Structure 1
């Protein structure tokens, strides 16, 4: 069953759309608050298809993520009682517990690490608000971390460019199904 090739082709087509940067910013913004899909899934194809725009796109992504992170911080600071039930409901409880323990151990450095962590970024933005972390250091650290991550991702994707995109397209079915299998195994193990 070949489904990943069509999805890959559509993603590459969308990455060249005239409003692609807007959608990238929107996804980056909402991912820092509640959205489950990281902006990398848009940044990578956009950087591969437009290598000269990779740095600009990475900075758009970082700024949007930090602004979303500020909203996430406010949610944690002012409305955690409302959000608390969703953390468990959406399956983030283990991530939440990890983030809180990291904040207690390392303070502001956690925000920097969160930019590169596989734990969803929204967990850290909300946790920073709950822990009432100093706001300005939070914003500065979040920007440095997110900008570093997205610049790295964008530059690597741009470096590969269209040639890498063509090679990736040839293997996308195997990669896609491998990811699905690994996700199911991880779910069964962590369940």
Structure 2
């Protein structure tokens, strides 16, 4: 099922209305779609490097707006569906504790998921579900998704096609290592 979606997404990069398709993919990826917008961004930027910043900006704006939909899904449908199920299982107290922990680290969770290959939709929905502060969620999503999309755009703009394989294979790993190092640094400063 994923391969046909991936192939469809790649084909859209060459469509005359590719920016609109990118906006749509970026929007729905933040709440329900399994293919990240990078798959569409990369061939679009390679085809027209002069539009790299516009392409990254469209992906950023649509992704954050889609993230708000994911947040809404978590915020609006948890009480009707999730909470009654957990109550019948006697897990309400455990969920309250989870909500508190998630919101204590929420900024870092959103930042990490926004720049790494971790599915952003999971975090957007959980942010709404746990009642994360909406302004904090939006700011974290803007920073994380902006960093991710504009780094990809900058690398493709500067290096072109030769950097494509690196981005597709290793950029997610580098972002993950960067976040781990950043969090580790904060932990060391706090406890030393």
Instruction: Settle same-fold status: TM greater than 0.5.
Output: yes
Counterpart of 1:115?
A: 114
Match of 1:147 in 2: 146
Evaluate the alpha carbon distance shift between residue 82 and residue 24 of structure 1 in structure 2; reply closer, same or farther with a 3 A threshold. Answer: farther
| Whole-angstrom CA distance in 1 between matches of 2:35 and 2:41 | 12
- Alpha-carbon distance in 2 for matches of 1:82, 1:117: 31
What is the Cα deviation at residue 113 of structure 1?
A: 1.4
Contact kept? 1:70, 1:125, Cα under 8 Å: yes
- Aligned residue for 1:79, secondary structure, equals helix
1:32-64 CA distance string (max 9 Å, x none): 011000000000111111111011100100110
Identify the residue that residue 79 of structure 1 maps to in structure 2.
Answer: 77
Question: CA separation in 2, counterparts of 1:32 and 1:39?
Answer: 9
Does the CA-based 8 Å contact 2:114-2:120 persist in structure 1? Answer: yes
* 1:23 and 2:21 matched: yes
Paired residues in the alignment total 148
Say if 2:45 is the partner of 1:47.
yes
* Distance across 2 between alignment mates of 1:139 and 1:47: 26
Query: Does the CA contact (< 8 Å) of 1:62 and 1:150 recur in 2?
Result: yes
C-alpha displacement of 1:106: 1.5
- Corresponding residue for residue 34 of structure 1: 32
**What is the DSSP-based 3-state SS (H/G/I as helix, E as strand, rest coil) of the residue aligned with 1:132?**
coil
Q: Report 1:167-186 matches (<5 A).
A: none
8 Å contact kept, 1:49–1:161: no
Instruction: Flag structure 1 segments of 5+ consecutive residues without an equivalent.
Output: 1-6, 85-98, 169-174, 176-191
Contact residue 102 and residue 110 of structure 1 kept, 8 A = no
Q: 1:104 Cα deviation (Å)?
A: 5.2
TM-fit CA distance, 1:77: 0.5
| Distance change in 2, residues 1:75/1:46 (3 Å) | same
Distance 1:133 1:54, change over 3 A: same
After superposition, give the CA deviation of every residue in 1:77-107 in whole Å (9 maximum; x if it has no partner). Answer: 01136776xxxxxxxxxxxxxx979725512
TM-score, normalisation: structure 1: 0.67
CA shift for structure 1 position 109: 2.1
Note if contact 2:31-2:124 (Cα within 8 Å) is conserved in structure 1: yes
